[in-house]
Amino acid sequence: MSVKKIAVIGAGQIGSRHLQALARLELPVEVEVYDPNIESLKLAKKRLAEVINPHRELKVKYLSRFEELSKEINLAIIATCADIRAVITVQLINHSRIENIIFEKILFQSLVDYEKIGQSLRAKNISAWVNCVRRTYPIYRQVKSLLGDKSNNIVFHLLGGEWGLTCNAIHFLDLLAFLTGSLTVEIDASGLDSDPIPSKRAGFYESTGTLRGRFVGGSEFFLTALRGSSTPHLISITSDKVIVVIDENHGCARLAYKKGNWNWQNIHFSIPYQSEWTDKLVSSILEGQKPGLPSYEESAVIHIAFLRALLDRYGHLGGWGKVCPIT
């Protein structure tokens, strides 16, 4: 295989973890890391040094000027914050010929950006996915295999403390789309607390309370974050075929299913860090395979439904008019 060019756009907390994972690649690659913030580039360089294989040199360029990016890029990972991701995406695909993109979530804050970016990706013939990775984890693929291709009677509960509902709910909405085989969802945000709270990232917000909804076919979900609590979240998934209670933080689950006569089983698993998983996704893409992530078009459907629900709940607040200040 010829040397492939990978660009990591955004070298902060998430981008630097993607870079760590790229050090695990067995494929011949050259990596360009772009961020106008010099401190972010220093962080990325430091984190790469923590994991670099001394027996294999990873060629990395750290760039603070956009125009320094290569004109031909096989795969771009766009790991900026959501407020600038649409602008950066347009700049990138106008500057370089891009074959593939992995987007971080939340994709964009403004509803109008979803169709605009989608049109640009189609016009440029760019294959794109969104990094909602839970559907690729073995524990959830096992649950999916027990549920079958299309399961329309799932009840999904997630309960925990302040687990970052507005930032992370899209992961679980995507997981449900995977488990149910449906993208059509009605989301009700009226159960969220009326006052969003400032996120750890300046200029962004989080929320607590309950987000609920229903997928076409009847599957329901309830995602609850308790304000003032640090309780690790628990997940329960029930249907007429499967009952499973999952503790992601401790890597354990209790599972019973119809074909197993509803006998409880204990399962132990691990949720990989991003720094342990991106290389698998990238390898699949560069080898011409599907990475198991939702496509841009699939994820955009879920994102739009989620953002509309948040705007229905918080649109009257300052700063929430036409955009959702979440990332």
Domain spans in the chain, listed from the N-terminal domain onward? 4-132+276-294, 138-271+306-314
Confidence of residue 122 (pLDDT cuts 50, 70, 90): very high
Looking at domain 138-271+306-314, its CATH superfamily turns out to be Dihydrodipicolinate Reductase; domain 2 (3.30.360.10)
Average pLDDT rounded to a whole number, residues 314-323: 89
* Section 176-185 average pLDDT: 96
Quickly state the pLDDT bin for 151 (edges 50, 70, 90): confident
What value does the mean pLDDT take over residues 242-258? Answer: 97
Q: Using the predicted structure, report yes or no on whether residue 107 has a pLDDT greater than 70.
A: yes
As given in the structure block, the two tokens for residue 65 are 């000027």
User: By the 8 A CB rule, do 174 and 132 touch?
Assistant: yes
**DSSP SS3 for 33:** strand
Predicted local confidence at residue 318, as pLDDT: 84
Pairing of the two strands 72-78 and 4-9: parallel
The position carrying tokens 């010829």 is: 2
The Cα diameter of the chain in Å comes to: 61
Which amino acid is present at 117? I
Q: What percent of the chain has pLDDT over 90?
A: 93
The predicted pLDDT at position 57 comes to 78
* Residue 53, pLDDT score: 72
All residues at 6 or more sequence positions from 14 whose CB lies less than 8 Å from its CB, including other chains: 79, 104, 274
Span 269-278, mean pLDDT? 96
Tens of pLDDT, residues 167-176: 999 999 999 9
Radius of gyration of the chain measured on its C-alpha atoms: 20
For residue 298, give both structure tokens: 């699939």
- The values of phi and psi at residue 157, to 5°, are -120, 135
pLDDT of residue 227: 98
- Report the alpha-carbon distance of residue 244 to residue 143 in Å, rounded: 8
Q: How many residues does the chain have?
A: 327
CATH number of 4-132+276-294: 3.40.50.720
- Per DSSP, 23 falls in state T
Tens digits of residue pLDDT in 17-76: 999 999 999 999 999 999 999 999 999 999 999 997 766 778 999 999 999 999 999 999
Mean pLDDT within 123-139: 98
Q: Is residue 315 predicted with pLDDT exceeding 90?
A: yes
- Kindly give, in sequence order, each residue whose CB lies less than 8 Å from that of residue 63, ignoring residues fewer than 6 positions away: 32, 33, 34, 35, 41, 69
Residue 56 backbone phi and psi in degrees, to 5: -145, 125
What whole-number percentage of the chain has pLDDT above 70? Answer: 99
